[in-house]
Amino acid sequence: MNTRKTLAGIFTVLLGFGLASFQGKEDDRNFQIAKNLDLFNAIFKELDMFYVDTIKPEEMIQNGVEGMLALTDPYTEYYPEEEVSSLKEMTTGKYGGIGAAIRYYEAKDRIAVVEPTEGMPAAEAGVKAGDIILSVGGKEMVRGNMKPQEFSSKVSEALRGEPGTSFILKVLRPLKNDSTVLEFQITRKNIRTNPIPYYGMVRDSIGYLSLSSFTENSAKDFKKAFIELKQKGAKSLIIDLRDNGGGSLAEAVDIVNLFAPKGKEIVITKGKLKQGQGSFKTQSEPVDTQIPIAVLVNGATASASEIVSGSMQDLDRAVIIGTRTFGKGLVQTIRPLPYNGTLKVTTSKYYIPSGRCIQAIDYAKKNADGSVARIPDSLTHVFHTAAGREVRDGGGIRPDIEVKGDRIPNIVFYLMNDDLIFDYATQYCWDHPALASVDAFKLTDQDYEDFKKLVKSRKFTYDRQSEKVLKNLKEVAEFEGYMDEAAEEFKALEKKLNHNLDRDLDVFAKPIKEYISQEIVTRYFYQRGAVMERLKDDDDLNKAIEVLTDAKQYDQILSAPSGKDK
């Protein structure tokens, strides 16, 4: 018997079984898809025909779509035709409007201007933060039965429009002893969100550049600012990516290209289909491959920001300072849908130069209740930078130097949520029509006393987590029979944890003052002022300056550990 022929026959049979099995699974999957789509269609038709009340087709289908997308990840989203413009704005940073941030203002049940954008129509017309919007183009802006978020969207849509079109904006401006109604004629124009709110010299030879987003042409803006800093004498650079939620992958690669050689592979994407796979390399000659760099990051540094910070770390091109980043290693693609809708869908994961993917959550492994959890450090893997330093995947970018910032106290959240910091800033502007400069501004002790008076006059209260935890502990102790023995201890704790507003305003004065100061400075100097104010007392910045002024420390951080050269 010919053994080779026998084995070949067996292999052919097994291959046939394998192909048949694969084909069977694929046929079954296609059947399941067709079956469930038919069921969905049939159920909707039955409800539409027989349900006792008239159903709203668009709302019902929208809920079905949202339920379907809830089984994916937070970045896969459907945009109906009327919302596609918001997606375009998110990716390009451009829209037609007046250039002003707005939000719901509960005290007046209206929409308030939070911040006009410097140099844009609203600011040039004289609109100020704190103005309450009454009408747009003669149409009164009232909430009615809308939710606050819906109301904000409605007013935002009214303010936007084709560049060159004009309208009358009527606002209520709070003044010291009264309020007055003002009208502004505003002409809309193309608004572009500035991705670089501030750049400048923070020391004689150290340049600083804050990057807030990765929208269209942000790399060109970055390059221009960087070259200007070099012309001013910058011998080292601090790139601030804190609170930068990301954006365009291509823009991120182009920014890394300013500091890395041409032809260097920065990002690889891997997806289920060929369209989701790709390689992104630096395309141009760099501006400077030698300048020492520190990159500031925090927990809100995500996506394209992590491509920049992670790539600079993998290439040993910068020292990363701050706290661990968010951990978004996913890439989204825009797909057109019928009736001018759009689907933003996650199509791949990205991998930076060391080969690692920094995605922190596996959305395919959701808990029974739909919740997800970060990948534990014990399940992450070691990779190596170009110099051989150890880095890890699966949990964001871990800084080379961790600087633990102060946690924002609970009271600050409630003071902001109740508009008390916002209202005090408006009040402050009544008494101070102008400020000489950001550097000259300082919130005085008397200013803070005035703020405390405002807080108390509003009968401000807030939830204290310690009181909630103590209440729960008492209930558990009572249930388990420990209450009698622990009664005195609980009384002592209740006394110490008693709600005391005066005490809390004094204990947390430092962080509260910082938020007040940023709100005030923004009124006069816009976003650049807010960034400059933040830098006055910034632990991350101070650590970056320390590292960049110590060449030995800088080189040591970016060098491979002894005996571990790759």
Cα gap 566→560, rounded to integer Å: 8
Residue 386: how many CB atoms within 10 A of its CB? 16
- Using only the alpha carbons of the chain, give its radius of gyration: 29
Task: Look up 25 and say whether it is catalytic.
Answer: no
Cα 432 to Cα 87: distance, rounded to the nearest angstrom: 39
Within 268-326, where are the H helices? Answer: 304-314
Burial level of 46, CB count in 10 A (0-12/13-18/19+)?
Answer: exposed
With vertex at residue 408, the alpha carbon angle to CA 312 and CA 426, rounded to the nearest 5 degrees, is 105
Question: What token pair was written down for 474?
Answer: 């008492």
Q: Find, among 78, 73, 69, the residue nearest to 361 by Cα.
A: 73
H or E stretch at 238? strand 236-240
Rounded distance, CA 549 to CA 555, Å? 11
State the Cα–Cα distance between residues 312 and 71, nearest whole angstrom: 34
Q: List the one residue out of 360, 394, 359 whose CA is nearest residue 380.
A: 394
Question: Which residue in the list 303, 309, 348, 517 is annotated as catalytic?
Answer: 303
* Rounded-to-integer distance, Cα 424 and Cα 213, Å: 29
Kindly write down the DSSP assignment for every residue of 405-469, as one continuous string: PPPPPHHHHHHHHTTHHHHHHHHHHHH-S--S-TTT----HHHHHHHHHHHHHTT-----HHHHH
303 as an active site residue: the answer is: yes
With contact defined as beta carbons under 8 Å apart, do 369 and 298 qualify?
no
328 noted as active-site residue: yes
Catalytic-labelled residue, pool 73, 221, 240, 314: 314
Neighbour count for residue 518 (Cβ, 10 Å): 18
Identify the H or E element spanning 203. Answer: strand 198-203
Q: Which of 128, 170, 328, 513 is catalytic?
A: 328
Distance CA 453, CA 455 (A): 5
Query: Residues 6 or more apart from 407 whose CB is under 8 A from it?
Result: none
Instruction: Provide the β-strand partners of residue 173.
Output: 180
State whether residue 378 is helix, strand or coil. Answer: helix
Question: Residue written as tokens 């938020």?
Answer: 515
3-class secondary-structure state, position 501:
helix
Gap between the Cα atoms of 309 and 497, Å rounded: 42
Taking CA atoms, 64 is separated from 69, 264, 290, 335, in Å, by: 9, 45, 54, 19
Q: Count other C-beta atoms under 10 Å from residue 338's C-beta.
A: 5
User: Encoding tokens for residue 177?
Assistant: 């002893």
Known catalytic residues are 303, 314, 328
